[in-house]
Amino acid sequence: MTQTLVESKTKTAIIGFDQPFCVIGERINPTGRKLLAAQLENGDFSTVEKDALSQVKAGATMLDINAGVVYNSNPNPNETEPPLMVEMLRLVQKLVDVPLCIDSSVPSALEAGLAVAEGRPLLNSVTGEEDRLEAILPLVKKYNVPVVAISNDDTGISEAPEVRFRVAKKIVERASDFGIPANDIVVDPLVMPIGAMGTAARWGEKEVKDPEYFPIDQFQSTRSEDPYSVAKWVGEQIGDAFARRNPDMSIGSMRFNGMWDDNKFKELKSLIYDYRDKKEQEIKDLNENQLSFKNEIEANHRKYEKLIDEAADEISSFVEKAKLENISQ
């Protein structure tokens, strides 16, 4: 199978379908981290040091280094990002020995990082946009490094999988024109979270297919066709990958299947609706009982007030009568 090699001075990370899951730590990135951005502008790299060491300790196979700070003193990233990238890479390489991923949207920052990187880092990234292809692919060829290919182009990020595939294919073909082998292209298909793309969880009609063979076992194709099923399959793959990385660890995935025909589904649907109707009636009865109880309380309250008033009148009459009797004596 195709394998992509990413190397530090002493270690090699292999990315491939038959390889252990490659965990890339991405904490060293000032995007959305105001404190880190301010520290970097002031020459404070303490958070970078802490994040580098903690991510490797937690099991990161590779570290992503991003120097994308927009300085308050100089908002031009073409001037500020290349020297910052160099400083961050040199620092991280002294602290840890895992392979690195050089991450920037500024071509000059990528080249500055490549010039001081030890080993064979992963370049992040190139897209299908013409200006990016012309700027990034020569760097990939010059420094003989693998690159992340992101499946969007000048038209943006398409929701159609076939369009993303065409963009990825275009990048691989253009890379080939530069003499870059396909195994040095790591394709990012842009699997979007629902928070970023509301239609990401949408799926169309599913075709029901017969099993490939009987009896069905764990090697049967899962044929994941919707986001929920794909998420389950990805979870299995991640678990298997971690198990491969740790010889003393084993993992088992349990697939609970629901077997329903149309009649069974109608029966289940009827049970659910009956339960709903029953609960709605109980709530209605409870509200009616509550109203009746409230009315009873209010009626008793009125009776109590009437009794109090009557008692007060009797007491007043008794007092007046007593006064008159005293006067007559």
Q: For the chain (length 329 residues), average pLDDT per consecutive 10?
A: 92 91 94 93 96 95 94 90 96 97 96 97 96 96 97 88 91 96 93 69 61 73 69 83 81 70 71 85 85 83 83 79 68
pLDDT at 152: 92
For residues 164-183, one letter each, b for 16 or more C-beta atoms within 10 angstroms of the residue's C-beta and e for the rest, the string is beebbeebbebbeeeebeee
Q: What is the third-level CATH fold of 3-197?
A: TIM Barrel (3.20.20)
pLDDT at 169: 95
Helices 107-116 and 77-95 meet at what angle, rounded to 10? Answer: 30
Question: pTM score, two decimals?
Answer: 0.65
Asked if 19 and 3 touch (Cβ cutoff 8 Å), the reply is: yes
What are the boundaries of each domain within the chain? 3-197, 206-257, 259-329
pLDDT at 217: 74
